[in-house]
Amino acid sequence: MRTAVPLLTQEQVDQLPDRAREVVEYRKSGLSLNHIQGCPLDCAYCIRHTYGLWDQRQPRALMSDGEAVEELVSHRYFQPHVTPVQVFNRATDPFLPAVKRHTFAVLEDLDSRGFTNHVLVITRHQVEAEELQRLNRIRNIRLTLLFTYSGIDDKRIEPYPSSVAAESLKLAGGARPRRYRTILYWRPLVPGLNDTDEHLKTAYELSRHADATVFTGIFYRDQIAAYYKANGLPEPYGDTARRKIVPETLEQRVLAAFIESTSLFRKTSCAVAYAHGLPDYNGHYGIRELCDVCPINQLNLCRRAHQAPTAERIHEVARALPEARGLKVVDITERAAVVSGLDTEQPRYYLQHALRFQVHDARHPHHAHRHGRADIGWKDTTP
Ligand code: SF4
């Protein structure tokens, strides 16, 4: 297929930072395809800071869409009908004018192969009615559109207005009938920046247009903190963390503002699964305190699907991955399997999705009631 963004030569690709060259990468919410990289929207907290790609404002392709889909579906981490997939969620916006034809090419290619995997498309951009009609013709993949909305009006942090995503969500949610699902992706929530009662009320009103809502905080990594400091931006926290930050009092205020809602979730996979009437594919049901926001029908779905694997079963699944040879199962409880011996997070996500059960790394213990978030802003850090 013709490329609508410039296609890099092999020599140019070879000069990219290591992680940028990794076109297929397992991230927490799914296997992520990123052969288009570069974004002009300039959100100060962009994850591109951590890939050495911040300066890349013009989207460019590392390969053709056909080659990229082939690389995705032949990847050892890809399991047909099982692995959740995310398209262009790391380095560009899938609905940028130059990027969207690639987005359609990938989605339609995956769909034509008969896969029923979840596919997540996250955008803050404008989406047109005709594009939604085209998305509605997708038959097999379970497509979810997540509209990133923060309500932040400090142009130094987020130059591209959140109101665009709000309008796109309303348009996408209003189409009837439709096969794709819509999520209000309410993030990043930052105390003092976008958490007044008015902000919370506006987000609640907006959530009524979505099939489900997820709220979450900011990934405040070292590279992002350095950018904030160098540019004199108001720093959200005095410290950085490997997990997303959502302070306890903010969470309580969000829950209070959404007391009437039956479709608010802490986890992206929970919202996506709920929107499709399926159990959570990340097995969060084991983390019981996560589910206090969930409607009873969804709880029942997840409860029925919840089954702790045996150590033998975990090893059996891990055998497909050479990099998991050193895997050790440290503990298995109703909450999660705890493993060690994995150098990176990617094989752990593979196990988690294959088993539909939480798999934690012994090096990074999860704290009760913290929902896999950073410790910043929480009083009690007892595991
Ligand atoms: S029951 Fe729990 S795990 Fe399942 S979707 Fe609801 S919050 Fe998520």
CATH (domain of 158): 3.20.20.70
- For residues 360 and 341, give the distance between their C-alpha atoms in angstroms, rounded to a whole number: 12
* 383 belongs to a structural domain: no
Ligand 1 centroid from CA 356, angstroms: 12
For 109-135, what is each residue's pLDDT tens digit? 999 999 999 999 999 999 999 999 999
Could you give the 3-state DSSP secondary structure of residue 192? coil
Q: What is the pLDDT of residue 368?
A: 61
Query: Is 280 a pocket residue for ligand 1 (Cβ < 6 Å)?
Result: yes
Ligand 1 centroid from CA 295, angstroms: 9
Output the residue whose Cα is nearest ligand 1's atom 2. Answer: 291
- Residues for the chain: how many in total? 383
Query: 194 and 256 in one domain?
Result: yes
Query: Is 282 a pocket residue for ligand 1 (Cβ < 6 Å)?
Result: no
Query: Is 284 a pocket residue for ligand 1 (Cβ < 6 Å)?
Result: yes
Q: What is the pLDDT of residue 243?
A: 67
Query: 96 and 190 in one domain?
Result: yes
The region that residue 166 occupies, defined by phi over 0 for left and psi between -120 and 50 for alpha, beta otherwise, is alpha
Query: 269 and 349 in one domain?
Result: no
For 209-232, what is each residue's pLDDT tens digit? 999 999 998 877 888 888 788 888
Query: Is 47 a pocket residue for ligand 1 (Cβ < 6 Å)?
Result: no
Query: Is 211 a pocket residue for ligand 1 (Cβ < 6 Å)?
Result: no
Read off φ and ψ for residue 94, nearest 5 degrees.
Answer: -65, -15
Residue after which a domain boundary falls, among 251, 275, 299: 275
- For residues 277 and 289, give the distance between their C-alpha atoms in angstroms, rounded to a whole number: 21
Query: 65 and 141 in one domain?
Result: yes
Name the E strands within 275-346. 328-332, 337-340
* 106 belongs to a structural domain: yes
* 374 belongs to a structural domain: no
Ligand 1 centroid from CA 265, angstroms: 8
Tell which atom from ligand 1 comes closest to the C-alpha of 267. Answer: 8
* Token pair listed for 381: 């850090």
Low-confidence ranges of the chain (pLDDT < 50): 1-2, 381-383
Query: Does the reported pTM lie above 0.85?
Result: yes
Query: Is 193 a pocket residue for ligand 1 (Cβ < 6 Å)?
Result: no
Query: 94 and 235 in one domain?
Result: yes
Query: Is 270 a pocket residue for ligand 1 (Cβ < 6 Å)?
Result: yes
- CB–CB of 373/244 below 8 Å? yes
Output the residue whose Cα is nearest ligand 1's atom 6. Answer: 294
Query: 270 and 321 in one domain?
Result: no
* Token pair listed for 342: 């994995």
Tell which atom from ligand 1 comes closest to the C-alpha of 303. Answer: 1
- For residues 27 and 50, give the distance between their C-alpha atoms in angstroms, rounded to a whole number: 14
Query: 130 and 37 in one domain?
Result: yes
Find tokens 């996250």 and name the residue: 122
- The full DSSP string for 21-55 is H--EEEETTEEEE-SEE--SS--TT-GGGGGT-TT
CB crowding 75-105: b at 16 or more within 10 Å, else e: bebbbeeebbbbbbbbbbbbbbebbbebbbb
- For residues 34 and 75, give the distance between their C-alpha atoms in angstroms, rounded to a whole number: 14
* 198 belongs to a structural domain: yes
* 173 belongs to a structural domain: yes
Query: Is 78 a pocket residue for ligand 1 (Cβ < 6 Å)?
Result: no
Query: Is 299 a pocket residue for ligand 1 (Cβ < 6 Å)?
Result: yes
Ligand 1 centroid from CA 298, angstroms: 7
Output the residue whose Cα is nearest ligand 1's atom 3. Answer: 285
Pairing of strands 142-149, 212-215: unpaired
- Tally the C-alpha atoms within 13 A of residue 6's C-alpha that lie toward its C-beta: 11
Query: Number of folded domains in the chain?
Result: 2
Output the residue whose Cα is nearest ligand 1's atom 7. Answer: 291
- For residues 65 and 301, give the distance between their C-alpha atoms in angstroms, rounded to a whole number: 36
* 94 belongs to a structural domain: yes
Output the residue whose Cα is nearest ligand 1's atom 1. Answer: 299
Query: Is 290 a pocket residue for ligand 1 (Cβ < 6 Å)?
Result: yes
Query: 334 and 207 in one domain?
Result: no
Output the residue whose Cα is nearest ligand 1's atom 8. Answer: 270
Residue after which a domain boundary falls, among 254, 275, 296: 275
Range of the domain at 352: 311-361
Query: Is 294 a pocket residue for ligand 1 (Cβ < 6 Å)?
Result: yes
- Judged on CB neighbours under 10 Å (0-12, 13-18, 19+), 133 is exposed
Query: Is 357 a pocket residue for ligand 1 (Cβ < 6 Å)?
Result: no
Q: What is the pLDDT of residue 303?
A: 97
Q: What is the pLDDT of residue 1?
A: 41
Query: Is 109 a pocket residue for ligand 1 (Cβ < 6 Å)?
Result: no
Query: Is 215 a pocket residue for ligand 1 (Cβ < 6 Å)?
Result: no
Tell which atom from ligand 1 comes closest to the C-alpha of 294. Answer: 6
- CB–CB of 147/165 below 8 Å? yes
Residue after which a domain boundary falls, among 275, 301, 336: 275
* 31 belongs to a structural domain: yes
* 155 belongs to a structural domain: yes
Query: 319 and 179 in one domain?
Result: no
Query: 180 and 130 in one domain?
Result: yes
Query: 335 and 211 in one domain?
Result: no
Query: 328 and 264 in one domain?
Result: no
Ligand 1 centroid from CA 358, angstroms: 12
- CB–CB of 223/184 below 8 Å? no
